[in-house]
Structure formats: structure tokens, C-alpha cells
Amino acid sequence: MKKLVLLRHGESVWNKENRFTGWVDVELSSKGLEEANEAGRTLRNEGFGFDVAYTSLLKRAIKTLWLVLEKMDYMWIPVHQTWHLNERHYGVLQGLNKVETVEKHGEKQVHIWRRSYNICPPALGSNHPDFPMSDPRYKALDVQQIPSTECLKDVVTRFLPYWKSTIAPTIARGERTLIAAHGNSIRALIMYLDKVSEDKIADLNIPTGIPLVYELEDDLRPIRHYYLGDPEAVERATQSVANQTTMKRSPSPTS
């Protein structure tokens, strides 16, 4: 039996403010820093160890991974960073508050943009300051590879080839593997591993900072999966993600 651990990054400052984040490179919040540290402590206390780790090119996932490996005393293992594990690009929604977007466009439309498998939000213009083309971390990509918006299907399309060519063979060789990524890149992998339908994947929510363990056959078919942590706390965190379009915006420090 082989094990794979998936970890969505800790809460970011835009998670806290209930904003669509996507490819915008925001910091972890103070809560997110503690979630990452707690994930590392939990994995250490549960006896986990790793031979290799994968993460995205976004610092909220990178920092989460650093903190986890530091808590586990595994900072020496190889870490591979790739844009294939980036969060889904939310187009013009990036930076917008989710509740305010519902108030402007309606719950049905925002749900389609947020959770539809194959419908993208409106695209970000190439002259927008957040358009990734000018970001040096993506300079090796062809212009056709750089998104201006994405749906989950697009994340599956860019992530699965990397999984099959790079990560899956690593696990198959018996290397203990940790992936620290984002809600949608993790959802894309779960959809593939568990054969979740396009309709059902809309109901899958990934909480921040809680390790998700997959036990796999030698051919990498899932045997079972489970979160590490108190089940009630996991349920509350998962439901919090599901409720983001109905949550009130966090008050500003001056309000």
C-alpha cells in the first residue's frame, strides 16, 4: 500500500476577506500560518514522513509547505514547484468579494462561475496588471499556456499530464509524497483518482490546512482516503468553504 498526502494551503489574507484569489500571489493570514504549523505537527505526531514534495508557484502554497516540512524536520527533502499545481485562474473575478459578487450578479450566476466544471468566468484582459504574462515565474511558458481565465476542466487539463508523467511514477516507486497546493488543483486530482463525475465535483469542498491522506494500491487506485484531525472540526472547515458566497465580508481594521 502506498500513501499520498494532499494539503490545501493555510488560510490566505484573501480567504479571510472572502475574495476570489486565483493566480494572484497573496500571503497567508495569521490563521493560515498557524494552520500550516498545526498540519506539520499533526503529520509528525501521526508518524508520517516524506521523500519528496510538490507545490505550486504561489507563495501561499509554498509557505505552507515550508512550515509543514520545518515542523516535521523534513526541510532537506526535494521540493518541486510547478505552475501545473497553481490555483484555478478566476479571470476578472480575482480580488472581488464573493458575497458582493453574488449581490451584483446573482447566486445562480456566481455558482456557475465558481463551481461549473466547464464554464469559465469572464477573462482578464492582457493589459490588466494581474495578467500573468509579465510575471517572471511564467517566462518559460508559451503564451498559449498562460490563462486569462479557467474552469475546473482547464485545471484538470493542465494538471493531469504532470501527475501522470511526474508525480504518479514517483509514488509508484514507493517514494512518500506530499502535495501542497490549492482547492481546485486538489479537486482536479480527487476527481481523477475517485472518478468523480462532472456534476458531483461541484459539491466537493477542500478545507484549508488539513492533511488529506490517500491510501493507494500499487497501481495507484484509491483504497480509502481520510482527513487527519477531529472529524467535527474538519466538517466545520469544509462547510465554511461551501458557505463562502453567503458569508458576510470580514470587517476592516478601521470599521
Q: Which residue, among 152, 11, 163, 166, has the nearest Cα to 87 in the 3D structure? A: 152
* 3-state SS, residue 3: strand
- Distance between CA atoms of residues 69 and 71, nearest Å: 5
- Type of residue found at 106: G
How far are the Cα atoms of 4, 75, 253 from residue 70, in angstroms, in the given order?
A: 19, 6, 31
Q: Which of 87, 89, 150, 182 is catalytic?
A: 87
- On whether the CB atoms of residues 222 and 192 are closer than 8 A, the answer is no
* DSSP H/E element including 65: helix 59-72
Q: Which residues contact 25 (CB under 8 A, 6 or more apart)?
A: 58, 59, 60
- Distance between CA atoms of residues 37 and 43, nearest Å: 10
Classify each residue of 56-75 as buried b or exposed e, where b means 16 or more C-beta atoms within 10 Å of its C-beta: bbbbbbbbbbbbbbebbebe
Q: Which three cell numbers, joined as nine digits, stand for 188? A: 482536479
- Distance between CA atoms of residues 38 and 181, nearest Å: 16
- Distance between CA atoms of residues 1 and 114, nearest Å: 35
| Catalytic (active site) residue 225 | no
| Catalytic (active site) residue 87 | yes
Catalytic residues: 9, 87
